[in-house]
Amino acid sequence: MARPTIPINLTQEQSKLLQRIVGSREIPHSLVLRAQIIRQAGQGINNKTISLNLGWCEDTIGLWRQRWLEGCVELEKFADKPKELRIAIGKLLADKARPGSPGKFSAEQVCQFIALAGETPPEHLSHWTYKDLVREAVNRGIVESLSTSSAGRFLKSGGTQAAPDKVLAQP
């Protein structure tokens, strides 16, 4: 005998927001599929049928049904606030943070490396190469070691991010 599924009761506002997510072409496909799961669950469809309808594993359907049930109490706080409700639903349908290794380089080290790349290279060099930058960063004690691919990634991430308009007030 199959396990009973806990029904999901969607408010009219939640249902409308989920329908907008399902119909959106700008929202990531994974969120659209999760919204479809919740909409169908809200219509009283069981996990097996939703699984067949969407082509997803039945356990995955159960996972998202459970996450919705755990988070729906939080959604009740935003009953009369559509903008906040939309944000809360987006967070509820989003992936949870996954564990990973901590970053090897601090923000300060990355900034120092980018600043080094902005300096004039030594006289014997016509321009900086990634290898030269890495060697100099290690010599100066900015980092213990660094790959050239990480060096390139740091420099690509440090693009111009200036404000489009004047930021300082005029005297």
pLDDT in tens, 37-81: 999 999 999 999 999 999 999 999 999 999 999 888 888 888 888
| 130-169 pLDDT, tens digit each | 999 999 999 999 999 999 999 999 888 765 555 555 555 5
| 27-38 pLDDT, tens digit each | 899 999 999 999
Which of helix, strand or coil describes residue 155?
A: helix
Q: Long-range contacts for 158-167 (Cβ within 8 Å, ≥24 apart)? A: 158/110, 158/114
- 8 A C-beta contact, residue 35 and residue 22: yes
Please give the radius of gyration of the chain, using alpha carbons only, rounded to the nearest integer.
25
What is the distance between the alpha carbons of residues 49 and 15, in angstroms, rounded to a whole number? 19
DSSP 25-43: SSS-HHHHHHHHHHHHHHT
| pTM score | 0.59
- 8 A C-beta contact, residue 40 and residue 53: yes
Question: Residues 48, 54, 55, 59: is their CA dihedral positive or negative?
Answer: negative
